[in-house]
Amino acid sequence: MTPDHEHLSVSCNVDLSAIVPISIRHVDIKALHAQYRDALASISRSYEIIYVVDGAFADVIAGLDELLRAGEKLTAVYLTRTFGESTALMAGFEQTTGAVIVTLPAYYQIEPADISKLVTALGSADMAVACRWPRVGGPAERLRRWAFHGLVRWMTGLSLHDLGCSARAMKRQILEEISLYGDQHRLLPALADRQGFRVQEIQVRQSPQDRYSEGYRTREYAHRLLDVFAVFFLVRFTKKPLRFFGMVGASTLCIGTALVLYLVVARLFFGESLANRPALLLSSLLVVLGLQLFALGLLGELIIFTHARGLKDYQVDRVIEFHAAEHETA
Amino acid sequence: MSEPVNSTPAEVPVQAHLRLSVIVPFYNESENIARMYQAILGAVEPLGVPFEMVFVDDGSKDDTLEIATRLARTDPRLRVIKFRRNFGQTPAMAAGIEHARGEILITMDGDLQNDPADVVQFLNKMDEGYDLVVGWRFNRQDKMISRKIPSRIANRLIGRVTGVPIQDNGCSLKAYRASVIKNIPLYSEMHRFIPAMASIAGPRIAEIKVRHHARQFGTSKYGLSRIYKVLLDLLVIKTVASFTTRPLLWFAMLSMPLFLGGLVAFVYLLLAALLSSEGMSVPIAGTGVIFLAGALIMFSSGAVAEIVYKTGDIRERDFARLTSRVRTCRS
């Protein structure tokens, strides 16, 4: 036990818990385990490794069996089908006991020796996010990366450069507070930042075996964009849906109304017939759409209001009071 | 005890013997916090009522927290709630209200613009049987153009729309009955709507004049939020305040104009078909269809709203129970 985690010693058996969610993209599990084990052992804190097998991958299951038979200290969680990385992470988290949670990819992304850098960074931050640097990759991929992270920065206000890297270290509290679903694991730093945790980006060396250079397919990019949008919405407008829908709805309504007015004026004063103008269709569509969006926003507000007891706008760090002082001096 | 806490209101019971909680949020107020503490003590101690102070540090970047901690270490009547980062004035008030243990809660700003000496007035008014007493800064010491005029317009508007005619919604100095306010959701930037929000619960509301001082130290932290935010928030309050119990009715009313628009288009088509032989006008027919479809979707939203209300945990009958007083004669 290191001194800075002493107050958690009651509930935690180890210092570090590493979670490795294993999905379709993975490398030979035995070689990977050897690397991660050595890297974690070199940090000289007690640790545990938890593998979450997200689907029926025969080679992974066989590999883990072999490791377990050989007496390797690890925990394996087998999911019945592929649930996605966020769910796998949460399933792995249930098995952890460490005060520090390290998430690691099931393939080579970073130099394993640099995991210690992430853990060390937790001294001053609540979450350390790895950023592979220097990084290989063609100009097209670099442009794509730049655009994606620019969008994330614009939407969440958080300047990160490598959300694709899943090597991260964080305090246990983060995953206790934030329940991940869907594909939110990538944007966990943004969600943590929203909750008031300090997020820091740490540069680590890229693994020489990190050769996934064909990039993402378009569909995958569409998914990631939707994720960013979902998180953006969660971060900015959870408590005030009408701010968003109201704005979009009001502008649609305004455009529609202006168009309607123009048509009416044209009809009344210039005798242009309404009956054969497709513009009438457009304007009425805009008006109706604007009202709909507004109603959606109000519906959202109603949801927030009637469920507001469970929602909290703030996160209390600690309560300082008189008898607490007595405890500390004792 | 310096563990992170995530207490729910249920864990912070109202203590029967603790009469009063004074709640003050602070954000970068290192010059003011000790003075505020002294001023509250000077005003409340002579009253002889058991009281406590709850200071909320809204993620200050100066040494507000250090000063507050030092005060809390020497005074058992003071508790300091430290936020993980800056969350804003309404959340700070809400946190203070949640962690307070007194029967009567009094909130005020941490910048010495409110005068703690007014607390006694509030207590007297509460003793008269009111559930919510709101301060009115009748000679407000702030800039005219940037603060007073917009605030006057906003207050007029809020009073008009919500039907709770209060001169000064923005005044932080307010007194609440704990049992009532702890059950009213406070979120987003609702602090200027607390009376309107509270009026959902049907409390007895009074307004009293309070002193207001010009700011001596530090700078004003909470500027005017943009107008459209206030307008939208007002709309939300109006919605939840007047229609929570009958969301379907309200959405049905919204869908009415659309329905009528569609109807007019179809009647026109029918007449045109009967009176002339030119054939059907496609744009008019399309418009009618769009309007009717819109009305239908809006109506369906109302049905969803009904489900939302049913599954939510805030019901009007809870509010009725909170503020009602029962007198019986059994013999």
CA distances from B196 to A50, A304, B238 (A): 52, 17, 9
Q: Is the pLDDT score of A10 beyond 60?
A: no
Residue B43 contacts A where some CB pair is shorter than 8 Å: no
Question: What are the extents of the domains in chain B?
Answer: 9-242, 247-323
The answer to whether residues A236 and A296 touch, using CB atoms and an 8 Å cutoff, is: no
Residue A330 contacts B where some CB pair is shorter than 8 Å: no
Closest B-chain CA to A238: B188
pLDDT band at A8 (very low <50, low <70, confident <90, very high): very low
Q: What is the pLDDT of residue A3?
A: 41
pLDDT band at A232 (very low <50, low <70, confident <90, very high): confident
Q: Is the pLDDT score of A242 beyond 70?
A: yes
Q: What is the pLDDT of residue A211?
A: 66
Task: List beta partners, residue B107.
Answer: B23, B174
What top-level class would CATH report for the domain B9-242?
Answer: alpha beta
Specify the range with the lowest mean pLDDT, choosing from A141-145, A233-237, B77-81. Answer: A233-237
The rounded distance, in Å, linking the Cα atoms of A162 and B122 is 55
- Which carries the bigger pLDDT value, residue A174 or residue B320? A174
From the CA of A243, how many Å to the nearest CA of chain B?
Answer: 7
The rounded distance, in Å, linking the Cα atoms of A238 and A234 is 5
Q: Is the pLDDT score of A236 beyond 80?
A: no
Cβ–Cβ gap B185/A308 under 8 Å: yes
Closest B-chain CA to A293: B298
The rounded distance, in Å, linking the Cα atoms of B93 and B55 is 10
Cβ–Cβ gap B293/A324 under 8 Å: no
Q: Just give the CATH number of A3-236.
A: 3.90.550.10
Cβ–Cβ gap A310/B286 under 8 Å: no
Of the ranges A65-74, A293-302, A319-328, B234-243, the best mean pLDDT one: A65-74
- Which carries the bigger pLDDT value, residue A219 or residue B256? B256
Q: Which residues of B touch A316 (CB under 8 A)?
A: 4-7, 81-84, 95
Question: What are the extents of the domains in chain A?
Answer: 3-236, 241-310
Write b or e for each residue in A22-45: b if 16 or more Cβ atoms lie within 10 A of its Cβ, otherwise e.
Answer: bbeebeebeebbebbbebbeebeb
From the CA of A228, how many Å to the nearest CA of chain B?
Answer: 22
Predicted ipTM?
0.73
DSSP label at residue A112:
G
Cβ–Cβ gap A318/B5 under 8 Å: yes
Closest B-chain CA to A295: B298
Nearest to B76 among A246, A276, A322 (CB): A322
CA distances from A322 to A316, B2, B42, B246 (A): 18, 11, 20, 48
Classify A148 as helix, strand or coil: helix
Q: What is the pLDDT of residue B34?
A: 93
Q: What is the pLDDT of residue B222?
A: 46
Residue A224 CB coordination number (10 Å):
19
Cβ–Cβ gap A288/B258 under 8 Å: yes
From the CA of A192, how many Å to the nearest CA of chain B?
Answer: 12
**Average pLDDT along chain B, 331 residues, taken 10 residues at a time:** 41 69 93 93 92 93 92 92 87 90 92 90 92 87 75 81 80 88 73 72 84 74 59 78 73 89 90 78 86 92 86 68 70 59
Nearest to B85 among A196, A247, A301 (CB): A196
DSSP label at residue A205:
P
